[in-house]
Chain A
Amino acid sequence: MKRLGLLISLITIVSLLAACATPTPEIVEKVVTQVVKETVVQKEVVKETVIIEGTPQVVEKEVTKVVEVEKVVTPTPSAAGGEIIFGVTSDFATTIPTLSRDSTSASAQYLMYDGLFRIDPVELVPIPWLVTDWEVSDDQLTYTFNLRDDVRFHDGEPLTAEDAKFSIEALIDPYNSSVLLGRLNVITGVEVLDTYTFQVVLEQPYAPLITFLANTGAQILPKHLLEGEDLLATDFLNNPVGTGPFKFKEWAGGDHMTLVANEDYFLGRPRLDSVVFRIVPDSASLVAALKTGEVDISGIGARDIPQVQGDPHLQVIEMPSDCFYTIGANLSQERFQDKRVRQAIMYSLPREQMVAELLEGHGYVTDSYILRHSWAYNPDTQPVYRQNLEKAKELLAEAGWVDTDGDGVVEKDGEPFKFSLLSYTSITPGYNETIQQSLKDIGIQMDIQLLDWPTFLNKAFVEKEYDSFTVNMCVPLDPHNPTVWGCGTNAFFFCSEEFDEMGMKAVATTDREERKKYYFEMQNFLAEEQVRFLLYSGTTIRVVNTRVVVGQGSPRNYTLASFTLWPHEWYLVQR
């Protein structure tokens, strides 16, 4: 009995400890320096008046003092070498960039391959990477690129324009259904002019071309290994070869992937010896692994921040995410076609409160459909929607929705305003209910239809059978986004010729200031029309062990490997 009692108390105590949370986490960005306390022996010469044999004399005495001094030091790197371990929650879907659709796969590909361009993690603009320089024809339809001549694949073969042509053609081949297909199909052809020179021909001027070529999915494949292969069924998957700073070594399915340093990397041998990706599916186990040092770098959710905040070995980095929580209303339904109804719905939502409570402050409210860290973001997007229940009710009334029978639900022409929201089980807890309550307060009855993720995706994006749906929508860096907003391709029956036209004009010019003008207009347009409700954006949170130096976080954080230092520059610190 005693043993049982002891066991019970032990289990209770431990579970209480495990559930303990520290209050109010803040956004912490630690610079990579350390404050070190040193004891310093100081010798001082002091003049003293001493009485010797009756006469006062001034004597010099040496006094030693031991003083504690604080110094700020940048940790010195250890000798080159060592290994970094990333923790990911799902297995890699593919090692071929062209086919990649998830961030875990992209993280490994970012280390194994190189692209023609890369997005600079700080400036967020594409910079030439494998390309040295390029020319654009006057009609902006032909781009001529020059490649570096000192890049080799991991098997020793040199990278040439043939590989570039092969890779780009793979991207625009509909058979591969690459994520970039819709964004690069303005390319009509690729021509090889020389061993290290090639030309890309477009069917119309297209400003985001370079930005999309800097996407991890557009990294260069080895033609000599993949020519004639079916990318969807090739053995290359288990033995990928790229030009990147790290070479593929092994992939134990479901467990881990190991990459080793590429000695002949064109920017110099990486300082690290190897990089390992460990798959830890459970988020609590992942946090435990971070604490024990079994995993060095990982992404975590806002709820796990309290667990890692106090740990001196872990650094928490928070960055704006690429995603918005949005609600899409089925615009083919008449009741949603009235702009006032849509605006009313927006005015009913307590967005700041939701960020504060549901995300615990790890997010921000935005009225623009463009990412806050994008160059095209309009900080003065009008109109701004803050929760205003009175205005919401007014707008509804104007649109003809009034509560005539006093049952708390507004009606129009005898029809009560009832609709359902399609949502998925892994969304933030409390999110759906908050929306439901807010709408109830203005007289709209919304019920929640919860589905699991694949069923939800199918219903919302394939079958398109819903009154409304909500999703955490993630967008790429360039503001050009025809799939989400374009007429006929988007998922919520939105069609605006005006909007599409502005979008096309915005990509037809490469002058950024002009593009900005269009995008500012477009942001105001969508804010006014509220065709898709943008609630707020969450933040991306990464945890990095202090023994690892990868630089700061970058808003370009789609992959786990995006930091301000390039992968070949990462190093370990002497503890």
Chain B
Amino acid sequence: MTQFVVRRLVQSIPVLFLITLFSFILMYSSPGNFINPLEYPGEMGQEEMEMLLHNLGLDRPWYVQYGDWMWKLIHLDLGRSFKFRQPVKDMIAARLPATLELTVTSLLLALVFGILIGVLSAIYRGTIFDGISRVFAVAGHAVPIFWLGLILIWIFSVTLRWLPTGGIKSTGTEAWDLWDRFKHLILPATILSFGRVANFSRYVRGELLEVIRQDYIRTARAKGLMERVVLMRHALRNALIPLVTVLGMNLRWLFGGAVLTETIFAWPGMGRLIVNGAFQRDYPVLMGTTLFSAVLVIVGNLVADIAYAWVDPRIRLE
């Protein structure tokens, strides 16, 4: 197993290198540049513009800029954001916990409800409940997040005043005021989970139906075990295996955040950082987050493979 892990990690280094190189070239060749006459378009004189570009190192050829970035990377420095002039490392670190709070919660919610709906749909296959829950799950996936988010904000925040309109916590409250955190978290996490509930419930339903028809389930029933035990102990466990792979692939999403939700709910997360960086051509931020994402995808796949092998004794790691 250790051999496997080590081999995979070593293999991933050239992959990462190629990813960063490719991203850099892509960014460099795309139109637009970071100049920042944000509020006064056309107000920046030629001299000021050139000096700004020079300060940011943007007047050098692309391979020089890339080399410089790699050099900094070796020293574990991701550079400074063009717009904010803060170290990219710090910016990512500041926003990561907020993103994780949101995405992990919504993932858990999606798992719980996905599995629940999937199992019930499989058990009551063909009934109205099955039909409704499947439609509902797909609708949740299809509905645009920003529309649903705004509707829910309108209902729960503006009209009923039960929940705040956004943010991660109320100003002035302590970070460990759990009730306050919960109130802020519940809407965005729920909305974010809708898309995944559809996916997970479909997976679970499909797998469960598949598994229930297996011979060993018939054996378990023939042994006289209660239906509930048959389902929970034998069928479900096996049905959940593919979910492990799905979770592994979701790892990057966990960290990348969900931009739309973060925007609607003013959640200070990674998603906004990445998208704003892209809109403003803030290359250090983009390179830093791309690298971060790439690392996570690789790690995520690795973890998924290992977990898969661990869970299913039929799989052998090569």
Interface of A toward B, CB cutoff 8 Å: 1, 3-4, 11, 14-15, 17-18, 83, 85, 90-91, 93-94, 99, 101-103, 174-175, 177-179, 181-182, 232-233, 237-238, 252-256, 258, 276, 278-282, 284-285, 288-289, 291-292, 294, 328, 451-462, 471-476, 483-484, 488-491, 558
Across the A-B interface, the 6 shortest Cβ-Cβ residue pairs: A254-B268, A455-B32, A255-B268, A454-B32, A182-B45, A280-B266
From A3, A4, A491, B42 is in contact (CB under 8 Å) with A491
Query: A462 near B33 (CB under 8 angstroms)?
Result: yes
Q: B80 → chain A, closest Cβ, in Å?
A: 6
- 0/1 per residue, B30-48, Cβ < 8 Å to A? 0111111111111111111
Q: Which chain A residue shows the least CB distance to B87?
A: A233
Q: Smallest distance from the beta carbon of B275 to chain A beta carbons, Å?
A: 10
In the complex, whether B315 has a CB less than 8 A from a CB of chain A is no
Q: A232-B55, A232-B85 are known contacts. Are A285 and B268 too (CB-CB below 8 A)? A: no
The reply to whether the CB of B164 lies closer than 8 angstroms to some CB of chain A is yes
Q: Does the CB pair A1–B171 fall under 8 Å?
A: no
Given A93-B83, A252-B94, A457-B41; A288-B280 close (CB under 8 Å): no
B176 close to chain A: CB less than 8 A: no
Counting CB contacts under 8 A, is B158 at the interface?
yes
A475→B43 contact, CB < 8 A: yes
Q: Given known contacts A11-B151, A232-B85, A288-B158, is B48 in contact with A255 (CB within 8 Å)?
A: no
Docked pose: A483 CA to B136 CA in angstroms: 58
Contact residues, B257-301 vs A (CB, 8 A): 262-266, 268-269, 272-273, 276, 279-281
Q: Is the CB of A182 within 8 A of B48?
A: yes
Given contacts A232-B85, A456-B32, 17 further A-B contacts (CB under 8 A): A18-B151, A90-B276, A174-B51, A175-B51, A177-B52, A179-B43, A181-B48, A232-B55, A284-B264, A454-B34, A458-B32, A459-B31, A461-B37, A475-B43, A483-B45, A488-B46, A491-B42
B266's contact among A281, A458, A473, by CB below 8 Å, is which? Answer: A281
Q: Which residues of B contact A452 (CB under 8 A)?
A: 32, 279
A256-B167 contact given A18-B151, A182-B47, A484-B42, CB 8 Å threshold: yes
Task: Give the distance in Å from the alpha carbon of A471 to the alpha carbon of B85 in the complex.
Answer: 27
Q: How long is the Cα–Cα vector from A460 to B42 in the complex, in angstroms?
A: 9
Contact: A233 with B80, CB < 8 Å? yes
Q: CB-CB < 8 A to B172: which residues of A? A: 83, 276
Q: List 17 A-B contacts (CB under 8 A).
A: A91-B276, A103-B39, A179-B40, A179-B44, A233-B85, A237-B86, A252-B268, A258-B171, A280-B167, A280-B266, A285-B166, A292-B164, A454-B35, A454-B279, A457-B41, A475-B43, A490-B42
**B191 within 8 Å of A by Cβ?**
no
Q: Which residue from A278, A279, A455 sits with its C-beta under 8 Å from B31?
A: A455
Q: How far is the CA of A94 from the CA of B83 in the complex (A)?
A: 8
Residues of B within 8 A of A178 (CB): 48
Q: Which of B158, B171, B280 lies in contact with A291, CB distance below 8 A? A: B158
Whole-angstrom distance between the Cβ of B155 and the nearest chain A Cβ: 6
Contacts of A473 in B (CB 8 A): 40-42
CA distance A452 to B279 in the complex (A): 8
A216 to B249, CA, bound (A): 49
Residues 118-165 (chain B) with a chain A CB within 8 angstroms: 128, 132, 135-136, 146, 150-151, 153-155, 157-158, 161, 164-165
Q: Is B49 an interface residue (CB 8 A)?
A: yes
User: Measuring CB to CB, which residues of chain B are less than 8 angstroms from any residue of chain A?
Assistant: 31-49, 51-52, 55, 80, 83-86, 91, 94-95, 98, 128, 132, 135-136, 146, 150-151, 153-155, 157-158, 161, 164-168, 170-172, 262-266, 268-269, 272-273, 276, 279-281
Contact residue among A237, A294, A458, A491 (Cβ-Cβ distance under 8 Å from B164): A294
User: Contact check: which of A93, A292, A474 meets B165 at CB < 8 Å?
Assistant: A292
The answer to whether B51 and A457 touch across the interface, beta carbons within 8 angstroms, is no
Q: B171 touching A85 by the CB < 8 A rule?
A: yes
Complex-state Cα separation, A200 to B129, whole angstroms? 81
By a CB distance below 8 angstroms, the chain B residues around A17 are 154
Cβ A483 vs Cβ B268 within 8 A: no
Check A181–B47 contact: CB distance below 8 A. yes
A18: which B residues are within 8 A, CB to CB? 150-151, 154
